[in-house]
Copies of this chain bind each other. A is one copy, B any other.
Amino acid sequence: MGTSKTEGFTAQQLELARIARALAHPARVAILQYLARVNACIGGEIVDALPLAQPTISRHLKELKAVGLIKGQIEGVRVNYCIDRERWEEVQALLGGFFNTSVNEQDCC
């Protein structure tokens, strides 16, 4: 049905999936890398840095904002975007915890 079932899954599983989905597009990965690399908060130069049209990037920014990974501050005509460091570390910890789940040492198949 195109819609993911939510009943029967834990809040953590849903949260992990939600975060992963936010990262599940090269443009959004690129945006985050760009914002992390540039020392200052950068506005619409993101559009110049990516091979996508402005409305499309605006959409991707919106999705990243929705999961809290970035913030946008209106500054006159421009908008300064930056990574939300607090949330960034929160997500890092969540994903780190997931991947640190003890995986059996010997491959079993």
Binding site for B on A (CB under 8 A): 4-10, 13-14, 16-17, 20-30, 32-33, 36-37, 39-41, 50-52, 71-73, 75, 80-86, 88, 91-92, 95-96, 98-105, 107-109
Contacts and interface: CB of A to CB of B under 8 A. Distances in A.
28 contacts: A4-B27, A5-B52, A7-B51, A8-B50, A8-B51, A9-B51, A13-B33, A17-B23, A17-B26, A20-B23, A21-B24, A29-B98, A36-B101, A36-B103, A36-B104, A37-B101, A40-B108, A41-B108, A41-B109, A72-B109, A73-B109, A75-B109, A80-B108, A82-B107, A85-B104, A85-B105, A85-B107, A96-B96
Between A22, A72, A99, the greatest number of chain B beta carbons within 10 A of the residue's beta carbon is seen for A99
The SS class assigned to the A binding surface is mixed
Q: Output the residue of A4, A14, A105, A109 with the most chain B CB within 10 A.
A: A109
Given A5-B51, A16-B29, A85-B107, 17 more contacts: A5-B26, A5-B27, A6-B26, A8-B50, A8-B52, A9-B27, A10-B30, A17-B25, A17-B28, A20-B22, A21-B24, A29-B98, A36-B101, A36-B102, A80-B109, A81-B109, A85-B103
